[in-house]
């Protein structure tokens, strides 16, 4: 079966965040938004059909997350990523960020240190500071080819007795890395040595491009399971963020008990019945759709890569191994961050994420979401190329 990624439904007449907030964020409606990490690609029919079928029943009340939904996720994770989660390991959550907040509350006290590896998705900072914990910045090290890796020596130097938790982004948003086993093992060794719990945000783990292979942190060895919480879900993979459903897998009984205490203080309940059936349908029927989606996304990425090669004096695309988020090095444009942002808004008429939002290491970078239809991607490319051509002509 072939799926249509050439066109997508118009979202401007909905409350879609990336469109509704254009005036507030960019000062104008006249930008093509390519920032917040959901897709301008139709949510798959098998998900929507499952929801429609459930609505044949006239009562939508409180319902428990069914075992069959968790079982579908467990099977998917085992087949795709080699995990061995059990039903008792699983917690419902409405978002990874909410789960992160509960993990910070469960495994740290006020004033304790939480390791954040920058540049990184902004809630990694905010979740820490809002709970009066200390951000321990361990910036990623930029390699000669523009890719990134961990700076293990910097991390080792910053750990002290009050460093209690590490927030791992795997695959990484925004730099697009799929961490290699030896990289993850170096993190694990330090965390075991210093008894640091790892919250592993693996929400992008299904969006990995060959020949790369996602390695779930808890699968590194038996010891890894004793300190890992794994956050996973359907939101990114199947464009289902609006269903507000994800999960946390915790294989160690002691960690589960500690997490559960903080988790229950928030009263997550069990979410929406419509989310439950959508979640189960995605994991049960989604493999073929996802395979075709990744081909489409990589083709979009290559359009950006070819454009950056053409205008390499000004921009460079960070090599991507996963996600649908391009991390664009704009240092060659010679602009300050405010000027750079204005260039994309006013000249290219594109609404992107400014790199500084991901930490100081994001200065002179922009993040572009290329999870759009082929039609929209061509518009993005044309707008950006027209602006770069003007820049090159002085």
Per-residue pLDDT of the chain (394 residues; tens, 9 = 90+): 588 899 999 999 899 999 999 999 999 999 999 999 999 999 999 999 999 999 999 999 999 999 999 999 999 999 999 999 999 999 999 999 999 999 999 999 999 999 999 999 999 999 999 999 999 999 999 999 999 999 999 999 999 999 999 999 999 999 999 999 999 999 999 999 999 999 999 999 999 999 999 999 999 999 999 999 999 999 999 999 999 999 999 999 999 999 999 999 988 889 999 999 999 999 999 999 999 999 999 999 999 999 999 999 999 999 999 999 999 999 999 999 999 999 999 999 999 999 999 999 999 999 999 999 999 999 999 999 999 999 998 7
Q: How many CB atoms lie within 10 A of CB 378?
A: 13
In the chain, domain spans = 17-43+287-392, 49-285
**CA atoms of 314 and 392, how far apart (whole Å):** 8
Topology (CATH level 3) of domain 49-285: 3.40.640
Is the distance from CB of 251 to CB of 228 less than 8 angstroms? yes
- Positive or negative, the Cα torsion across 13, 19, 20, 24? negative
Return the number of other C-beta atoms located less than 10 Å from residue 113's C-beta: 21
- What are the φ and ψ backbone dihedral angles of 303, each rounded to 5 degrees? -60, -40
CATH of 17-43+287-392, one of 3.40.630.10, 3.90.1150.10, 3.30.470.20, 3.40.50.720: 3.90.1150.10
What gap in Å lies between CA 230 and CA 94, rounded to an integer? 15
- Report the sign of the C-alpha dihedral through residues 300, 303, 305, 308, in that order: negative
228-233 and 141-142 beta bridge pairing: unpaired
Torsion angle in degrees (nearest 10) through CA of 74, 80, 81, 82: 70
According to DSSP, residue 326 is labeled E
Give DSSP secondary structure letters for 264-321: HHHT-TT--HHHHHHHHHHHHH-HHHHHHHHHHHHHHHHHHHHHHHHTTTT-EEPP-S
What's residue 142's pLDDT?
A: 96
> What does the alpha-carbon distance between residue 210 and residue 139 come to, in Å, rounded to a whole number?
26
Can 17-43+287-392 and 49-285 be said to share one CATH topology? Answer: no
Amino acid 1: pLDDT: 53
- pLDDT value of residue 2: 82
Residue 45's pLDDT is: 97
Strand partners, 364: none
Please give the pLDDT value at position 201.
98
pLDDT, residue 151, reads 98
Partners of 134 in beta bridges: 113
The 8-class DSSP code of residue 232 comes to E
pLDDT of residue 86: 98
Q: Output the pTM of the full model.
A: 0.96
At 385, phi and psi to the nearest 5? -65, -40
Distance CA 76, CA 202 (A): 14
- Listing DSSP states for 67-115 in one string gives HHHHHHHHHHHHHHH-----GGGEEEES-HHHHHHHHHHHH--TT-EEE
**Which helix H or strand E contains 277, and what residues bound it?**
helix 273-285
For residues 202 and 216, give the distance between their C-alpha atoms in angstroms, rounded to a whole number: 7
């Amino acid at each position: 079966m072939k799926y249509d990624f050439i066109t997508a439904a118009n979202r401007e007449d909905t409350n879609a965040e990336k469109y509704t907030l254009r005036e507030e964020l960019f000062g104008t409606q006249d930008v093509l938004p390519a920032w917040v990490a959901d897709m301008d690609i139709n949510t798959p029919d098998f998900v929507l059909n499952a929801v429609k079928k459930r609505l044949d029943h006239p009562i939508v009340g409180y319902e428990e997350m069914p075992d069959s939904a968790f079982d579908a996720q467990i099977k998917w994770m085992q087949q795709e990523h080699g995990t061995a989660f059990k039903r008792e390991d699983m917690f419902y959550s409405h978002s990874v960020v909410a789960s992160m907040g509960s993990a910070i509350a469960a495994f740290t006290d006020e004033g304790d240190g939480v390791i954040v590896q920058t540049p990184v998705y902004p809630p990694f900072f905010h979740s820490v500071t809002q709970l009066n914990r200390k951000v321990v910045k361990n910036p990623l090290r930029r390699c000669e080819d523009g890719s990134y890796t961990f700076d293990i020596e910097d991390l080792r130097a910053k750990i002290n007795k009050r460093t209690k938790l590490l927030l791992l982004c795997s695959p990484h948003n925004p730099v697009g890395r799929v961490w290699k086993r030896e990289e993850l093992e170096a993190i694990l060794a330090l965390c075991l040595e210093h008894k640091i719990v790892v919250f592993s945000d693996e929400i992008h783990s299904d969006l990995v491009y060959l020949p790369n292979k996602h390695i779930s942190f808890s699968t590194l060895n038996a010891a890894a399971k004793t300190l890992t919480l794994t956050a996973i879900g359907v939101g990114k993979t199947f464009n289902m963020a609006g269903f507000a459903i994800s999960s946390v897998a915790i294989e160690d009984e002691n960690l589960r008990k500690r997490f559960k205490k903080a988790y229950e203080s928030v009263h997550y309940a069990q979410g929406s019945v419509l989310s439950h059936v959508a979640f189960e349908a995605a994991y049960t029927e989604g493999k073929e759709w996802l395979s075709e989606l990744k081909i489409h996304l990589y083709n979009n990425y290559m359009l950006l890569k070819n454009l950056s090669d053409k205008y390499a004096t000004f921009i460079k695309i960070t090599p991507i191994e996963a996600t649908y988020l391009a991390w664009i090095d704009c240092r060659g444009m010679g602009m300050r961050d405010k000027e750079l942002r204005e260039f994309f808004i006013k000249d290219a008429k594109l609404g992107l994420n400014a790199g500084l939002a991901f930490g100081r290491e994001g200065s002179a970078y922009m993040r572009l979401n290329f999870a759009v239809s082929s039609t929209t991607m061509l518009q993005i490319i044309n707008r950006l190329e027209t602006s770069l051509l003007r820049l090159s002509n002085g």
